[in-house]
Structures are given as C-alpha cells and as structure tokens.
Amino acid sequence: MFKEAKTTAIHATDQSIVYRLTQGYYTTSLPYREGVKNMGNTGNPDNKELVIHSIITAMSPTLDSEELRHLDDILREKLHGMRLEEECTEVSTWSDDNGYIIKMFLASKKLIGCKNGSLEQYALSLKQFFGMIDKNYRDVKKDDIKYFLAVRSGEVAHNTLANIKTNLSSFFTFLHDEGYIPTNPIKPIKIKRVDVENIHLTVDEEVAVRDVRKSLRDEAMIDFLFSTGVRVGELAAMDISNVDFVAGTVTFRGEKSDRFRTVILDARAKRHLAAYLNSRKDNNPALFVTERVYDGQPRRLKKDAIEKVTKAVGRAAGLHKVLTVHVFRRTLATRLADKECPLEVVQEILGHRSPTTTKRYIAQNQERIRRQAVRYMDAA
C-alpha cells in the first residue's frame, strides 16, 4: 500500500509494519493479510493525517507542487476506509521536534503551490523565532510571541514586522487546524500595517538619482528599474532573452503570481541597457552580472548585490531615504497614477493580484485627486 509513497519497510510481522520516515521512526499497527485489510470507516483519522503529512514532508524536497498534490490524492485514496492504530509512541519523538514540524509546515505550503521565495521567508521567520524562544512548539504561549515581536520591532521596519507576524500566524494556524496544538497562541495578536510616507521619489529626487555618475551597468540598471518597476527577485532572475529591443518590452515570469507579464522599456532605459549589453564580452545569460569575474566569467547579480547598488546610488544622490528596489516600484506606480493611467493597468504592470495592493503603492497626490474629482463632477 505504501509503495507509491516511496517509504521503506524495515520490519513486518502479521501484526504491524514499521516505516522509516525522514527523522526517527513512525510505528503503526495495521491488520495484515496479504497487505492491509479494509476495515471500514472506523479508523483513526489523526493517525492517517499524520502518516500522510509525514510522507508528503519526506517527499517534498524531490517532488514539485503538482507531483505532491498527486501523491496526496493517491495516499488519501489508498488509505480511505483503513484503520491505523499507533502501536508505540516512545520511538516516535520527531512529532515533538520543532525542526521536523517546520519541515511539515513548509511541505504543506509547497503542496498548495507556494513559491520558493515565500517558503524561504517562512523558514527564516520560524528559525529566528525558535532561535530566540527556546521552547517546543507545543509550549509556545501568546506572551512568547509578543516578546519576540517586541524585540524584532527594534530591529526591523514596521511593515517588515507585520510580515514576520503573518508568517508566524500561518505556521501556528496550520498547527491548530491540523490538531497539533489545542489553541492558536498568535490569534489574539494584531499588528496593523501602516502606509509609509515618502516611500516614492519626488521629481527632484528622481532627477538627482539619474544625475549620479555611474558605471554602464549601474546606469542601465537604474533606468531599467525606473521604467519597469520590477521586483528585486524578478530582476535578479531575468535573462537577456527576456528583452525584446524591437518591441521595447520585457516579458518574464512574475515572482509572486507565477504568471508571465510584460513591462515596457522607455527610450532611455532601452538605450542604456543596449550600451551595457554591447560592452559585455561574457556569455552569461543573465541580464545583469557582477563587474568582478570568477574563473574568467562574471556571475549573475544576486538580490542583495542589486539592493547594494541602488542604496549606494541613493546615498550619492543625497537622498534622505533609503533607495531600495521597492522605492522604484512605488515611484513608477505614482507616476502612472499622476498621468491618470487606469488602476487596472498599473496593477498589471506591477504584477499585483489585488487592486487593493496597487492602491497602497500610489502616493496620495492632492493635485491628482483634485483633477480626478473635477473630471467626475463634470461628467455627472
């Protein structure tokens, strides 16, 4: 029965089968007669869910989301009507292990198609939490979470703190929904996101950034960000082949939506990008690469290196704000809104799933609001 799940039987008798999983052993007692006999609907569903989750977790490093969903369907079909009774809990210590339960949580997220970037953020938040709160996940209380968030509030921006809380909330909600903990300790804790003022660049600030003397690569990168508003992860993953210089467009797979979207290169961005690419002598397919070479070849520019470039340019321009890639996204959204570009078009360019997210990106320009109000009043 478990052959499809690729587990390994290490002991079998006419009373029980013992399976080795990722960590430790899990022991179940199964009526055995040429396989497992159908026992009707009297089995323990908790044990079934435990076995299913264990197998999914064990296989998640080697299967993609679609394959994991298929495996989940197979297991539920094959286990339907079976009774699984726990024979021995003493050898099963992994269920109390934070590391294993985190792997199980991440596997469940991967099963529903969660992107790798999001999985990494979940893992990082949980690593930081359990690194500070030295407790088993079953013993975590509301005050433990509040203490952790209070400490982190002095280290990160408010909205970053809200993201960390959201990651923890997803984890503890999973534990509660799956029956691993009786109550959800994070449910009463609220952190309201705030709109960050001056997150976009003013026109004068944009001019100052563009006027900073830069290398060919950095000039092309800054203009590319002004023109496209792509996410830092999208820029890091982008290849030269994504760019159509004839059409003046860039087509790529979005980092969060997993959909392909197309953005526009303005004349300045296209000119500086072409100059940069023509200056390169390497065969790296990446759109932006390191200026330093390794074994004769540059490497793809990573996210932290991109952010390092933008922040350095911001300092050179004399900005009183940190120039991150995110600032370029909000600046583009605000510029498009100032030109009265429809919200749904801005949403598509930025790759947002919800127009509510797009609205938060657009700085509230009073003159724009006045023009729109006058237009609608005249139309009425």
Structure token pair of residue 277: 């690419």
pLDDT at 89: 46
The HSE-up count of residue 351 (CA atoms within 13 Å, CB side) is 21
Domains of the chain, residue spans: 3-93, 115-177, 203-379
Cβ of 311: how many Cβ atoms within 10 Å? Answer: 16
Residue 380: per-residue pLDDT:
53
340 Rama sector, left if φ>0, alpha if ψ -120 to 50, beta otherwise: left
DSSP letter for 135, please: S
Pairing of strands 297-300, 289-294: antiparallel
For 189, list phi and psi in degrees, rounded to 5: -85, 125
- pLDDT, position 222: 97
The CATH code that applies to domain 203-379 is 1.10.443.10
List the one residue out of 269, 163, 255 whose CA is nearest residue 210. 269
Q: What's the full length of the chain, in residues?
A: 380
Residue 377: predicted pLDDT:
67
Name residues whose C-beta falls within 8 Å of residue 35's C-beta, 6 or more positions apart in sequence.
Answer: 1
Tokens of 292: 């330093």
Residue 375 confidence (pLDDT): 64
pLDDT by residue for the chain (380 residues), tens digit each? 333 333 333 333 333 333 333 333 333 333 322 233 333 333 344 677 778 888 888 888 888 888 888 888 888 888 777 766 655 444 444 445 888 899 999 999 988 888 788 898 999 999 999 999 888 999 999 999 999 998 888 887 777 888 899 999 999 999 999 999 999 999 888 877 655 554 789 899 999 999 999 999 999 999 999 999 898 989 999 999 999 999 999 998 887 766 788 899 999 999 999 999 999 999 999 999 999 998 889 999 999 899 999 999 999 999 988 898 989 988 998 888 888 888 888 888 888 777 777 777 776 555 555 666 666 666 55
Residue pair 254/351 in contact (Cβ under 8 Å)? The answer is: yes
Q: Give first-to-last CA distance, the chain, whole Å.
A: 69
Residue 158 has a pLDDT of 77
CA 176 to chain centre: 22
- Spatial CA neighbour of 317 closest among 181, 226, 187, 189: 226
**Cβ atoms within 10 Å of 277's Cβ, excluding its own:** 16
Amino acid identity, position 60: S
SS3 readout for 308-356 = HHHHHHHHHCCCCCCCCHHHHHHHHHHHHHHCCCCHHHHHHHHCCCCHH
CA distance linking residue 161 with residue 156, whole number of Å: 6
Phi and psi for 165 in degrees, rounded to 5?
-60, -40
Q: What is the DSSP string of 12-34?
A: E-SS-EEEE-SSSEEEEE--BSS
